[in-house]
């Protein structure tokens, strides 16, 4: 369904010398998503997860540029004009944005923003669009959906605005849903309901789903495959079982160890990944994770590791990709 080949995303940014510098947010990412597949793209903030999919959706800011190849159902997406992308965005590909404050128009009522999607892409009449929109608001657990239909975004809580954004992305029953941190502003019970809804849509409509998140427990409730990104690159991919129980990259292992549901150590403290993600303007030589990696050896600081194939679904980009995660 979706094939991404050697995609890079760059931004021209101001530097101290008042000249434009190049920030490389995504560096040569390749991945593919099959019809009906659910894939999680995980990593810390700044890993390039969102920019990867903003690029293929044509949503980069003016100072951003993308290079590589993106194919969706046989059609090239990358760097296409808005006239072409507007026939796909919202209809065949739905995107759930993580910031509902900027995803919704503050000057338009919720109902108008929802019905517009159906009218533009499917030609639905006013009555049918209204009924479908209210039904979808109810599906995403908004109380009194008929009343909220006539509300402005500022009249809703952050969590309710997020659910409106989710409803908007689901209205046209897209073939692919890109969910960028879809439950960030929601409490745990509503999170569970949203994931249940996405899982139901996936099963009943065979919809492909990409979940962009740092919340690994959320991944376990929805996704079949996991892509781990660090510093703009993919460092490990595999099935849910391979990543959660047989992770080979030290960064993947550290992410799993740092999740709140893991057992704490003997001192009662939750494990954390030492250090901070690297500055994309000044990446270390060799493997970008080497300053934070307890397994790093000399070649990790000198050479970029090549991808190793551990199974037909499990791949890792690491000089020591076969270690079991035990301490030295």
pLDDT digits (tens, 9 = 90+) for 27-55: 999 999 999 999 999 999 889 999 999 99
Query: Alpha-carbon distance 42 to 35, whole Å?
Result: 20
Question: How high is the pLDDT of residue 325?
Answer: 47
Q: Provide CB contacts within 8 A for 204, sequence distance 6+.
A: none
Helices (H), the chain: 49-56, 82-85, 100-103, 110-122, 126-139, 145-148, 158-170, 188-205, 216-220, 240-246, 250-257
Beta bridge partners of 76: 71
Two tokens, residue 59: 């949503």
**Do residues 215 and 263 make contact, with C-beta atoms less than 8 angstroms apart?**
no
Neighbours of 31 (CB within 10 A): 18
Q: Which residues of the chain, if any, have pLDDT below 70?
A: 16-19, 185, 261-270, 321-328
Neighbours of 240 (CB within 10 A): 16
Question: How high is the pLDDT of residue 18?
Answer: 64
Total residue count of the chain as it appears in this document = 328
Question: How high is the pLDDT of residue 323?
Answer: 53
Query: Alpha-carbon distance 260 to 272, whole Å?
Result: 10
Question: How high is the pLDDT of residue 66?
Answer: 96
The H or E element that residue 13 is part of is strand 2-14
Query: Alpha-carbon distance 324 to 271, whole Å?
Result: 18
Token pair 């959320």 is found at 218
Helices (H) and strands (E) in the chain, counts: 11, 12
**Do residues 104 and 187 make contact, with C-beta atoms less than 8 angstroms apart?**
no
pTM of the predicted protein model: 0.89
Domains of the chain, start order: 2-223 (3.40.50.300), 240-328 (no CATH)
Query: Alpha-carbon distance 315 to 80, whole Å?
Result: 31
Beta strands 307-309 and 233-239: pairing type?
Answer: unpaired
Question: How high is the pLDDT of residue 261?
Answer: 59
Q: Provide CB contacts within 8 A for 169, sequence distance 6+.
A: 90, 94, 95, 96, 177, 179
The H or E element that residue 179 is part of is strand 176-180
Query: Alpha-carbon distance 297 to 290, whole Å?
Result: 8
Is the CA virtual torsion 278, 284, 289, 294 positive or negative? negative
pLDDT digits (tens, 9 = 90+) for 137-164: 998 889 999 999 999 999 998 888 888 9
The H or E element that residue 9 is part of is strand 2-14
Query: Could you tell me which of 107, 106, 124 has the C-alpha nearest to residue 115?
Result: 124
């Amino acid at each position: 369904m979706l094939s991404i080949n050697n995609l890079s995303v760059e931004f021209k940014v101001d530097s101290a010398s008042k000249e434009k510098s190049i920030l490389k947010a995504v560096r040569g990412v390749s991945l593919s998503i099959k019809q009906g597949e659910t894939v999680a793209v995980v990593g810390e903030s700044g890993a390039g997860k969102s920019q990867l999919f903003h690029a293929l959706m044509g949503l980069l800011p003016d100072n951003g540029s993308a290079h590589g190849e993106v194919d969706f159902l046989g059609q090239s997406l990358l760097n296409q004009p808005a006239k072409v992308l507007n026939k796909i965005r919202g209809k065949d590909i739905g995107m759930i944005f993580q910031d509902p404050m900027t995803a919704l128009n503050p000057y338009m009522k919720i109902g108008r923003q929802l019905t517009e999607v159906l009218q533009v892409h499917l030609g639905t009449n006013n009555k049918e669009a209204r009924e479908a929109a209210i039904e979808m608001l109810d599906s995403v657990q908004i109380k009194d959906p008929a009343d909220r239909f006539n509300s402005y975004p500022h009249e809703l809580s952050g969590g309710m605005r997020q659910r409106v954004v989710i409803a908007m992305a689901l209205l046209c029953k897209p073939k692919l849903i890109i969910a960028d941190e879809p439950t960030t502003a929601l409490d745990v019970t509503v999170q569970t309901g949203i994931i249940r809804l996405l899982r139901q849509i996936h099963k009943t409509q065979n919809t492909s789903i990409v979940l962009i998140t740092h919340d690994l427990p959320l991944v376990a409730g929805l996704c079949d495959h996991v892509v781990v990104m660090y510093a703009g690159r993919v460092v490990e991919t595999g099935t849910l079982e391979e990543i959660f129980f047989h992770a080979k990259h030290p960064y993947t292992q550290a992410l799993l160890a740092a999740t709140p549901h893991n057992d704490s150590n003997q001192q009662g403290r939750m494990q954390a990944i030492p250090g901070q993600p690297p500055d994309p303007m000044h990446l270390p030589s060799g493997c970008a994770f080497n300053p934070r990696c307890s397994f790093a050896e000399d070649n990790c600081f000198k050479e970029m590791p090549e991808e190793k194939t551990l199974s037909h679904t499990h791949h890792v980009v690491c000089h020591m990709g076969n270690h079991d995660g035990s301490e030295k």
